[in-house]
Amino acid sequence: MSAPVIVTGAAGFIGMHLCRRLLADGRSVVGIDNLNDYYDPRLKRARLATLAGFDGFAFHEADVADRGTIDALFDTHRPQKVVHLAAQAGVRYALTNPMAYADTNLAGMAVMLEACRRLEVRHLVFASSSSVYGANRKLPFSERDPVDHPVSLYAATKRANELMAHSYAHLFALPVTGLRYFTVYGPWGRPDMAIWKFTDALLRGKPIDVYGGGVLSRDFTYIDDTVEATVRLLDLPREPSSSANPADWNAEGPDTSWAPFELVNLGRSDPVSVNELIARLEAITGRGALRNEMGMQPGDVERTFSSTEKLVRLTGFTPGVPLDEGLRAFVAWFREYHRIDR
């Protein structure tokens, strides 16, 4: 029997969908999640329940920053591929709970890198974020752009993850790929994300908090596209260059390296403003929005816009689920999950 894929953050939004896809493809999966209370753990347990019918799935409740437990799990399951999605998410939460990001995003990443190095894992894929582009103005965001000015602690920890990963790729020839996810949405999504909040408010007749006049835009990317690209990249570990000597390396951009290291944007390359998002959700739900206008929040960026050139070049895949189609699927799931009549 082939070695299982370890997926951390398996009870999370992307993690659950990724596990389902890997299991449906006939792969064995070991899921790890600490089921913390950043948002309602009942949602996380409900996600896990959708995986219970697969024979190839094993779940362990554990914290990725707990080195002893993670090392023991790696020793038991001996993975060859690892997808590290566990993280403390959220931009605004970091303003009042900064140490949660240090503990999970920094210490947790170090533990995963060490475990992968020790077992000589063939490929580590980890979740970075479009947030690393920070205050960048050039559009669309390209992996070759500098990312030196994060505007949130969350973004800073994700950029730190990229740098940590590159050091391990160089020092230990560990193949690592970082995925810069762009505003992933869809059924079983996160309650702290705008699409969930807006849908909930519309269906319950509550006000929507709209920041910065609603002109902020995001490159919303449907979960099925996100998972498809992630699976394809999981099976494409980067090979080291012919020369492992940095002195012999001709830099083509910040995303390239002599080491077996890759950074890839994962977005749809079709940003939509918050105002447009609200209008589309109004049309789908048949409800009018009650708006609570608020100023820009610390850590917010004006726009995100993914270049998909590298993703297409590496995988041949272009994310293509239209926003209206994805929103209809989310709203239908939301009504069913919360038992909200039309």
Angle at alpha carbon of residue 139, lines to 136 and 143, rounded to 5°:
75
| Structural domain count of the chain | 1
Q: Is residue 209 part of a domain?
A: no
What whole-number distance in Å separates Cα of residue 324 and Cα of residue 281?
A: 9
Domain CATH code at residue 47: 3.40.50.720
The answer to whether 94 and 101 have CB atoms below 8 angstroms apart is yes
In-domain check, residue 334: no
Closest CA to 324 of 223, 222, 172, 240: 222
Range of the domain at 127: 5-182+221-267+306-319
* Percent of the chain clearing pLDDT 90 (strictly above): 89
Give the confidence band of 256 by pLDDT, cuts at 50, 70, 90.
confident
| Per-residue pLDDT at 242 | 61
Please report whether residue 277 resides in a domain.
no
Question: What whole-number distance in Å separates Cα of residue 84 and Cα of residue 26?
Answer: 20
Of 21-25, 50-54, 239-243, 281-285, give the lowest mean pLDDT range: 239-243
Whether 294 is covered by a domain: the verdict is no
| pTM (2 d.p.) | 0.95
Catalytic residue among 93, 154, 168, 222: 154
- Is 201 part of any domain? no
Is residue 36 in a domain?
A: yes
Per residue in 105-143, pLDDT tens?
999 999 999 999 999 999 999 999 999 999 999 999 999
SS (H, E, C) the chain: CCCCEEEECCCCHHHHHHHHHHHHCCCCEEEEECCCCCCCHHHHHHHHHCCCCCCCEEEEECCCCCHHHHHHHHHHHCCCEEEECCCCCCCHHHHCCHHHHHHHHHHHHHHHHHHHHHHCCCEEEEEEEHHHHCCCCCCCECCCCCCCCCCCHHHHHHHHHHHHHHHHHHHHCCCEEEEEECCEECCCCCCCCHHHHHHHHHHHCCEEEEEHHHCCEECCEEHHHHHHHHHHHHCCCCCCCCCCCHHHCCCCCCCCCCCCEEEEEECCCCCEEHHHHHHHHHHHHCCCCEEEEECCCCCCCCECCECCHHHHHHHCCCCCCCHHHHHHHHHHHHHHHHCCCC
Residue 191 lies in a domain: no
| Separation CA 297–CA 105 (nearest Å) | 22
Structure tokens at 299: 């850590």
154 as an active site residue: the answer is yes
Q: Could you tell me if residue 246 is inside a domain?
A: yes
For residue 119 the two structure tokens come to 């077992």
Q: What is the pLDDT of residues 153-203, one digit of tens each?
A: 999 999 999 999 999 999 999 999 999 999 999 999 999 999 999 999 999
Residue 295 has a pLDDT of: 86
